[in-house]
Amino acid sequence: MTFIRLDIGQFKPLASLTHLLTKGLLTKGCLSLLVIFLYSCQGTPVQDSSNTSQPLGNVPDEPANGVDIEGSRDSGTQIPEPKETEEVPLSIQVLPSQRIRVGDAMQVKVHSRQAGYLFVWDIGNRGEITRLFPNQFVETNKIKAGKTVTIPENSWAGFGLTVGEPLGNSMVVALLVEEEKVQKVQAENLESTVATNAQTAWQQLRKQLNQMLGQGGWLPAKEDYEIIR
């Protein structure tokens, strides 16, 4: 930082000012003010505006739009952490991946955060609907909250799921219902739904469930996958 010192010794003696006064070029009032000003400036440091640079690294970055994107360390303001996405109540996972080759084995995992009765269907590329769960090997479909159902559970389950043609987009659909609505689902032949593709079959199935089960007491979910060569 550079400073300029104003020294009274840099000016002419006060006798010169008196000369100006006697010549009528300077009034007494102006002379008094000038003398007071010069003495007040003696030894007072004045900042030189021509050189205001600071060492690199000591100047904080200006926050964009008035917001410190680093959390305002000096002020103590903290940027709120993003909220975790709430887990869905009913979710499906197709294994080993969402693209499965013809002839490969497939598993379906369904996780439910709520207790109820679980039904699972596969909907093929041409709209055909096949019930995967419950089946002749696993007849009990009542599950507890937080339960994960694997279809088939292992190689000793008595059945397996082997992927076959037609190629294209398919999906797995899960339905969780309350006890009082289980008989309605079991009595209805939902597998007889006729459609031209998986998406259309799912739309028709969901419409049928709405009409059959009404509002509340049931929870659907779906997961897409693709059959390839």
**How many independent structural domains does the chain possess?**
2
What pLDDT shows up at residue 158? 86
CA distances from 90 to 4, 15, 147, 172, 182 (A): 76, 100, 10, 13, 17
Domain match, 142 and 39 both: no
Give the residue with greater pLDDT, 52 vs 177. 177
Domain match, 127 and 219 both: yes
Residue 34: domain span:
3-47
84 within domain boundaries: no
* Cβ–Cβ < 8 Å for 221, 149: no
Q: Tell me which H or E stretch contains 5.
A: strand 3-5
**% of the chain beyond a pLDDT of 90:** 55
What pLDDT shows up at residue 70? 35
Taking the model in full, what pTM does it have?
A: 0.63
Domain match, 98 and 166 both: yes
23 within domain boundaries: yes
What confidence tier does 32 reach under pLDDT thresholds 50, 70, 90?
Answer: low
Domain match, 37 and 101 both: no
What pLDDT shows up at residue 208? 94
- CATH number of the domain residue 223 falls in: 2.60.40.2550
In this model, does residue 40 exceed pLDDT 70?
no
Domain match, 101 and 203 both: yes
Mean pLDDT of the chain: 75
What pLDDT shows up at residue 29? 52
Domain match, 221 and 151 both: yes
Strand runs (DSSP E) across 73-179, as ranges? 90-95, 99-101, 107-112, 116-123, 129-133, 142-143, 148-151, 168-177
What confidence tier does 13 reach under pLDDT thresholds 50, 70, 90?
Answer: very low
Domain match, 97 and 205 both: yes
What pLDDT shows up at residue 178? 96
* Cβ–Cβ < 8 Å for 37, 47: no
What confidence tier does 156 reach under pLDDT thresholds 50, 70, 90?
Answer: confident
* Cβ–Cβ < 8 Å for 191, 121: yes
CA angle 27/30/34 to nearest 5° reads 135
What confidence tier does 190 reach under pLDDT thresholds 50, 70, 90?
Answer: very high
106 within domain boundaries: yes
73 within domain boundaries: no
Tell me the residue length of the chain: 229
154 within domain boundaries: yes
In this model, does residue 64 exceed pLDDT 60?
no
What pLDDT shows up at residue 117? 98
Query: What does residue 20 show for φ and ψ, rounded to 5 degrees?
Result: -65, -35
Domain match, 36 and 107 both: no
* Cβ–Cβ < 8 Å for 152, 134: no
